[in-house]
Amino acid sequence: MIKAVFLESKVVVWDEKEGEKLYQNKYFGKWIEEEGKTKYLQLSLPEAMYLAEREIIEVWKGNKKLSIKEFYDMCCEVDKEFPQKFTVFRDLRNRGYIVKSGFKFGTHFRVYEKGVNPYKKGEKTKKEHTKYNVHAVPENHMLSYHEWSRYVRLSHTIRAQALLAVVDEEGDVTYYTINRVKP
C-alpha cells in the first residue's frame, strides 16, 4: 500500500514514484509544486477515502496509521458536507467516471468520461471537456434560487450538464439534471 499523510484538510503522498502510480490510475490527485522545488501529490478527502477503502493507500496522521473509521470521522470534522460528497464521489468512480474538484466552478465535482485526461493542455475535443458539474446534497437540503442560478450558469459556461446528486438516508444517490430555460 502507498503511504499518504493527512494534513488538516488534505491528504498528501510525498513519494513521487508512488504518487505517479495514483495519478496515472484514472488521474487521482493533483501534482503540487511549492517554491519550484517541493513536488507532491495532493489528494482530496473523497479521493483519499476512496483509495483507503480499496486498500490502495494507508492514511497516517503523525506517527499513527488511521483506521478507515478514524479517517472518515476526521474528514467529517473538516468538512460538514463530507458524507454526501464522499457517497457521490464513490458512486461516480464506481461507474467509471473521472471525478475532480469543481470548487472553482461553484460545485463539488467536475466529472469526465472514462479515459479522459482532465489536465490536457491545448485544444480539447468535445469528449475531453467536463461532462457534468455535480453538486452533492442530502435528501432534505434546500437550495436558494440564487444558488441554483449560479450553479446552472457556471455549468453552462463551461459546456457541462448541471447535475444535482441527492443522497438519501440509505446512502443511495439519485441524479437530477438541471437546465436553464430561456422563454
Contacts of 137 (CB under 8 A, 6+ apart): 84, 143, 164, 165, 166, 167
Quote the CA–CA distance of 14 and 21 in Å, as a whole number.
Answer: 12
Q: Residue-wise over 5-16: b if at least 16 C-beta within 10 A, else e?
A: ebeeebbbbeee
Contact between residue 11 and residue 42 where contact means Cβ atoms under 8 Å apart: yes
H or E, element range at 74: helix 68-78
pLDDT in single tens digits along all 183 residues of the chain: 999 999 988 999 999 999 999 998 778 999 998 877 778 999 999 999 999 999 999 999 999 999 999 999 999 999 999 999 999 999 999 999 999 988 887 789 999 988 777 776 777 666 677 889 999 999 988 877 777 777 777 787 778 888 999 999 999 999 999 877 777
pTM score, two decimals?
0.90
pLDDT computed for residue 130 by the predictor = 85
Domains and CATH numbers, the chain: 2-78 (3.40.1170.20), 82-178 (3.40.1350.10)
Please give the Cα distance from 6 to 126 (Å, whole number). Answer: 36
- According to the model, what pLDDT value does residue 18 have? 93
- What's the confidence (pLDDT) of residue 145? 76
Query: What's the pLDDT score for residue 127?
Result: 66
- Residue 156 is predicted with a pLDDT of 76
φ, ψ of residue 58 in degrees (nearest 5): -120, 135
Residue position matching grid coordinates 441524479: 175
| Distance in angstroms (rounded) separating the CA atoms of residues 47 and 79 | 14
Identify the burial level of 181 via C-beta atoms within 10 angstroms of its C-beta, where 0-12 means exposed, 13-18 middle and 19 or more buried.
exposed
Amino acid (1-letter code) at residue 146:
H
d(CA 156, CA 61): 40
Distance between CA 129 and CA 118 in Å, rounded? Answer: 8
